[in-house]
Amino acid sequence: MKKLSLLIAFLIIASCNAPVESSEKKAGYLKAGDTTYDLSLGDHSAVEIWDQYLDAHNNQDLEAIKALESEDLKIWGPTGQVVEGKEAHSEFLDGWFKANNPKWETYFSVPVKVDWEDQPGTWVTSGHTLTMTVDGVEVKSNDIADVYIENGLIQKFYVFSRKLPEPAETE
């Protein structure tokens, strides 16, 4: 019994001195100027918010879209355009929906946490195929969006796009 008690005491003491592993597993890094920040997997609920946001876009539901955006929303589009504010975004989307009927089909999304103190939210990097009708012709692109979500709202995002070639005609 004495040996068992000593073994238990030893295990307790040894476990107190063991290094504590972070619950966040490092998933990469981000370099910004001279500083490198660690990346880890973020909160998956941010991916769910982004999915809801794209569903609202596919349904052309401007009110649902605005409900998922912060007042200070900022968007950097794939051709250099910048949209600031949810009302300006709603106006932009209204015209775009009517002119091009865009539809998004997501093929990946990953939540990422950056160890910045001033940004407690989660970034989502998401890839999707965007299909639109431009002058009566269906056009597709593969897009990547980097989206910052905090407090359940989309704060800002960047979109990078690559137009897909038109499918070859078959005989």
CATH number reported for the structural domain that contains residue 143 in this entry: 3.10.450.50
Give residue 7's pLDDT: 36
Tens digit of each residue's pLDDT (9 = 90 or more) over 123-159? 999 999 999 999 999 999 999 999 999 999 999 999 9
What are 37's two structure tokens? Answer: 């920040």
Tens digit of each residue's pLDDT (9 = 90 or more) over 67-121? 999 999 999 999 999 999 999 999 999 999 999 999 999 999 999 988 877 778 8
Q: Which one is predicted more confidently, 6 or 30?
A: 30
**CB half-sphere exposure, 118, CA atoms < 13 A:** 0
Is the model's pLDDT at 53 over the cut of 50? yes
State the pairing for strand pair 82-84/103-114.
unpaired
Give residue 24's pLDDT: 62
- According to DSSP, the residues that pair with 139 across neighbouring strands are 132
Which of the 8 DSSP states describes residue 169? P
List alpha helices for 18-131, DSSP H: 45-58, 62-67, 86-100
Task: Report if residue 18 sits inside a domain.
Answer: no
Could you give the number of structural domains in the chain? 1
Pair 47, 111: CB distance under 8 Å: yes
Reference 145, options 167, 162, 124; nearest CA is: 124
Is the model's pLDDT at 3 over the cut of 70? no
Give residue 36's pLDDT: 84
pLDDT band of 23, cuts 50, 70, 90:
low
Task: Report if residue 28 sits inside a domain.
Answer: no
- Domain carrying residue 145: 39-163
* Torsion of Cα atoms, 86 then 87 then 89 then 91, to 10°: 160
